[in-house]
């Protein structure tokens, strides 16, 4: 099938996605600092957290400005944490990789969206044990729309995957609320919408990795491990990223063995 996007090669659209991903990553650095602190993500303008100086447009260029300034504020010389370029690079790479793998298509766009949204979800949940609804819920709605557009004949599949996976997580949360947060339930809506059937291996990987870490903590710290709160969102996000690329082959491997 030819589309208007065929006027340019795939690497071009992947580069565009990479640049948009970098810009989204830049927003994510602001989001992951301010949202958990109940600060507005638009006001005031980005500023140095030690000298409060408002950053100039050139200092807001993702990654490059950090490299050019050797990771220091131009005003006060204070170190700018490497998390800023790391979040930007991860977001850009996931967006470009999604388009390269799934094409300049609705599916590729949905995969890129999932990638760039999971980056701040991981960072914020690790640091604050919170899942940012402010990006997860709109992303779930947009991801669902993109996946329906990708395959309108089977429009119900992403819907069933989103509601089924989130329903499963809701039951677990309802039965054992200490095990995860309600944010994890909402995050699963996004995962199901974009991953479709691959949300099953994503959850399998997340619970497997979570149980493994729980066991390691229990062995190393004994009964004290019960008091160590480990956020589950990063496990869900990591499981989703693995399943985004390898979910279909994992499902194939499993069904082959069932005969």
Question: Hunting for tokens 């190393």 — which residue is that?
Answer: 220
Q: How far is the CB of 115 from Zn ion (least distance, A)?
A: 31
C-alpha 97: how far from chain center: 14
Site string for Zn ion, 131-170 (x = CB under 5 A): ----------------------------------------
Distance separating alpha carbons of residues 131 and 181, to the nearest angstrom: 9
Q: What one-character-per-residue DSSP string does 82-135 give?
A: THHHHHHHHHHHHHHHHHHHH-SSHHHHHHHHHHHHHHHHHHHHHHHS---HHH
Q: What is the rounded CA–CA span in Å between residue 68 and residue 91?
A: 20
Interface region with Zn ion, contact rule CB under 5 A, candidates 78-86, 127-135, 184-192, 195-203:
78-86
Pick 84 or 102: Cβ nearer Zn ion: 84
> With CB under 5 A, what is the number of residues at the site for Zn ion?
7
Radius of gyration of the chain (CA): 20
Residue 182's SS3 state is helix
Residue 45 sits in the site that holds Zn ion (CB under 5 A): no
Contact region for Zn ion (CB under 5 A) — 68-76, 115-123, 126-134, 195-203? 68-76
Q: Is 80 in the site for Zn ion (CB under 5 A)?
A: no
Phi, psi torsion values for 79, nearest 5 degrees: -65, 135
Q: How far, rounded to the nearest angstrom, does the alpha carbon of residue 244 sit from its chain's CA centroid?
A: 11
Write down the least CB distance from residue 55 to Zn ion, Å: 9
- Taking the least distance from each CB to Zn ion, the nearer of 71 and 214 is 71
Kindly tell me the number of DSSP H helices and DSSP E strands found in the chain. 9, 0
Of these, 76, 126, 171, 211, which contacts Zn ion (CB under 5 A)? 76
Which one among 20, 48, 86, 238 touches Zn ion, defined by CB under 5 A? 48
In angstroms, give the least distance from the CB of 49 to Zn ion: 8
Q: Is 68 in the site for Zn ion (CB under 5 A)?
A: no
Contact 247, 195 (CB under 8 A): yes
With CB under 5 A as the contact rule, which of the stretches 45-53, 104-112, 188-196, 200-208 interacts with Zn ion?
A: 45-53
Contacting positions for Zn ion (CB under 5 A): 48, 50-51, 73, 75-76, 78
């Amino acid at each position: 099938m030819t589309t208007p996007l065929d006027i340019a090669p795939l690497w071009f659209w992947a580069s565009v996605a990479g640049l948009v991903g970098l810009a989204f990553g830049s927003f994510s650095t602001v989001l992951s600092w301010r949202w958990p602190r109940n600060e507005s993500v638009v006001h005031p303008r980005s500023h140095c957290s030690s000298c409060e100086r408002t950053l100039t447009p050139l200092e807001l260029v993702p990654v490059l400005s950090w490299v050019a300034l050797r990771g220091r504020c131009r005003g006060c010389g204070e170190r700018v944490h490497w998390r800023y370029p790391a979040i930007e690079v991860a977001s850009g790479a996931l967006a470009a990789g999604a388009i390269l793998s799934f094409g300049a298509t609705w599916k590729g766009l949905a995969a890129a969206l999932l990638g760039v949204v999971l980056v701040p979800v991981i960072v914020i949940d690790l640091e604050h044990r919170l899942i940012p609804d402010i990006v997860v819920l709109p992303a779930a709605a947009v991801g669902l729309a993109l996946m329906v557009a990708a395959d309108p004949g089977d429009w119900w599949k992403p819907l069933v995957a989103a509601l089924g996976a989130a329903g499963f997580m809701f039951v677990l949360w309802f039965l054992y609320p200490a095990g995860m947060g309600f944010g994890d339930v909402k995050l699963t809506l996004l995962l199901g919408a974009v991953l479709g059937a691959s949300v099953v291996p994503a959850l399998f990987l997340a619970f497997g990795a979570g149980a493994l870490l729980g066991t390691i903590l229990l062995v190393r710290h004994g009964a004290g491990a019960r008091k160590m709160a480990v956020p589950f969102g990063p496990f869900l996000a990591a499981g989703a990223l693995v399943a985004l690329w390898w979910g279909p082959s994992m499902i194939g491997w499993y069904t082959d063995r069932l005969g």
